[in-house]
Amino acid sequence: MSDFTPRFELPFIIPGQAQKELFHNEALLRIDAALSACAEGPPRSDPPANPAEGESWIVGEGASGAWSGKHHSLACWTAAGWRYLSPRAGMSVWNKADAVPLQWNGSGWSQGRLACAGLVVAGQPVVGERQPAVASPSGGTIIDEQARAAINALIATLMSHGLTD
């Protein structure tokens, strides 16, 4: 058995351990950072000059200073200094500055992307599975160029939004 939990490396209290409160408090600090995690903004490489207790950031590539060697981690400022959480695949962090989610895919953070099988608003399906391509209008005995242009514009918009092939 390890001395830490497998996902967020929270320290276990071990029988006979001295100063158990230190390990318990460390676990609480890490839980506080990981539970409904949020970051002050997108990933950055330099630690802020005057962080407030409880603020968190995602450490970017080429991190410097206290963050050196901690790229991709969630860095949380505490009264005792920086605490780092290594991300796990599927971990989401709310980007407070841009009001979008950041998601760790196992090798990098994506920003503002949501993966879902469909979108339902007020009980009504709005977007579902991607549909096959819609053919441009052709043929007919009376050709209305303006109507065809409008339909082609709608098809192009559906395609640009990824709703159809």
Residue 1 has pLDDT above 70, yes or no: no
Assign 22 a pLDDT band (cuts: 50, 70, 90): confident
CA–CA gap between residue 119 and residue 127 (Å, rounded): 5
DSSP β-bridge partners for residue 107: none
Question: Which tens digit of pLDDT belongs to each residue from 64-113?
Answer: 999 999 999 999 998 889 999 889 888 999 999 999 999 999 999 999 88
Q: Single out the residue of 32, 12, 18, 37 nearest to residue 80, CA to CA.
A: 32
Cut 0.75: pTM above it: no
97 vs 17: which has the higher pLDDT: 97
> CA neighbours within 13 Å on the CB side: how many for 55?
13
C-alpha 147/C-alpha 142 separation (Å) is: 11
What stretches of the chain adopt beta strand conformation (E)?
38-39, 56-58, 74-78, 81-85, 92-95, 100-104, 109-111, 119-121, 124-127
Separation between Cα atoms, residue 155 and residue 157, nearest integer Å? 5
**The one-letter amino acid at 89:** A
Q: What is the pLDDT of residues 23-57, one digit of tens each?
A: 777 777 777 777 788 999 999 999 999 999 889 99
What is the pLDDT averaged over residues 145-151?
91
